[in-house]
């Protein structure tokens, strides 16, 4: 019978490499634990990361967000993906999960449901700077600015984009420039928002892109 052995020593080594690349007083670590903790066991992997200084977890599946809450994890959890139904939104609200918003219609649905439940929803805006998958198109500044405005039941606490090919320096810098153009305008309206763009590859290639947080996978082999 095959089994997978996880070396906490190696994971901690990887984590320390990340810590050396960021200024922890300015930049938070968002650990991407989707896919059952990248195959390392969602709960145990997440607890290890939290015990070693990670402040925020990120998932791409409603079920995994709920599993983490039921396991007693109280730290911030960011749902990276689009939510497809009011039922899913309600589940995430009930479990105090930070949602991702990619259009004004989605924002309105979250705000309405949060109002009905008499809770305050927290959300990050996803900006499409060239990946072409999901999010506010970076040129649609009016909608993005409108989406950043807080309401009685909705607080926008973050904004991010996803690099489509971080190894490509020229293209990544184009995406980053598109994002920072929006970021500078949003920051005038809502100074409580954290901004994050870097994945694991970008972290090691472009230190100027660390911003307020970095989204990292720690399970790569050394």
Element (H, E) at 160: strand 154-160
**pLDDT score of 147 more than 90:** yes
Query: In the structure, what pLDDT confidence band is assigned to residue 1 with cuts at 50, 70 and 90?
Result: low
**pLDDT score of 5 more than 90:** no
In the chain, where the domains are located: 22-216
Q: What is the pLDDT of residue 17?
A: 85
Q: What is the pLDDT of residue 133?
A: 83
The third-level CATH classification (topology) of the domain covering 22-216 is TIM Barrel (3.20.20)
Query: In the structure, what pLDDT confidence band is assigned to residue 3 with cuts at 50, 70 and 90?
Result: low
Element (H, E) at 176: helix 169-189
Q: Which two tokens stand for residue 179?
A: 């994002």
Least confident window among 81-85, 134-138, 152-156, 174-178: 81-85
Query: In the structure, what pLDDT confidence band is assigned to residue 222 with cuts at 50, 70 and 90?
Result: very low
Q: What residues contact residue 93 under an 8 Å CB cut-off, 6+ apart?
A: 99, 110, 113, 114, 117, 119, 121
Q: Which residue has the higher pLDDT, 3 or 67?
A: 67
Quote the CA–CA distance of 142 and 105 in Å, as a whole number.
Answer: 14
Residue-wise pLDDT tens digits, 106-130: 999 999 999 999 999 999 999 999 9
Least confident window among 2-6, 110-114, 147-151, 203-207: 2-6
- The whole-chain average pLDDT of the chain stands at 92
Q: What is the 3-state secondary structure (H, E, C) of 47-112?
A: HHHHHCCCCEEEECCHHHHHHHHHCCCCCEEEECCCCCCHHHHHHHHHCCCEEEECCHHHHHHHHH
Q: What is the pLDDT of residue 197?
A: 97
Residue-wise pLDDT tens digits, 19-28: 888 998 899 9
């Amino acid at each position: 019978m095959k089994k997978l052995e996880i070396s906490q020593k190696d994971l901690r080594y990887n984590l320390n490499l990340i810590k050396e690349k960021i200024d922890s007083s300015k930049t938070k670590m968002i650990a991407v634990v989707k896919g059952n903790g990248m195959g390392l066991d969602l709960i145990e992997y997440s607890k290890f990361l939290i015990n070693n200084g990670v402040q925020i977890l990120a998932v791409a599946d409603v079920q995994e967000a709920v599993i983490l809450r039921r396991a007693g994890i109280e730290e911030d959890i960011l749902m990276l993906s689009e939510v497809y139904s009011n039922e899913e939104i309600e589940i995430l609200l009930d479990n105090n999960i930070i949602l991702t918003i990619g259009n004004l219609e989605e924002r309105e649905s979250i705000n309405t449901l949060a109002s009905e439940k008499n809770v305050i929803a927290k959300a990050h805006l996803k900006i499409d700077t060239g990946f072409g998958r999901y999010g506010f198109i970076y040129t649609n500044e009016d909608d993005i600015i409108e989406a950043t405005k807080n309401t009685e039941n909705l607080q926008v606490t973050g904004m991010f984009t996803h690099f489509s090919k971080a190894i490509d320096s020229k293209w990544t810098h184009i995406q980053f420039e598109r994002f920072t153009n929006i970021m500078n305008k949003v920051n005038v309206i809502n100074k409580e928002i954290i901004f994050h763009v870097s994945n694991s590859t970008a972290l090691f290639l472009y230190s100027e892109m660390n911003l307020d947080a970095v989204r990292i996978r720690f399970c790569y082999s050394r």
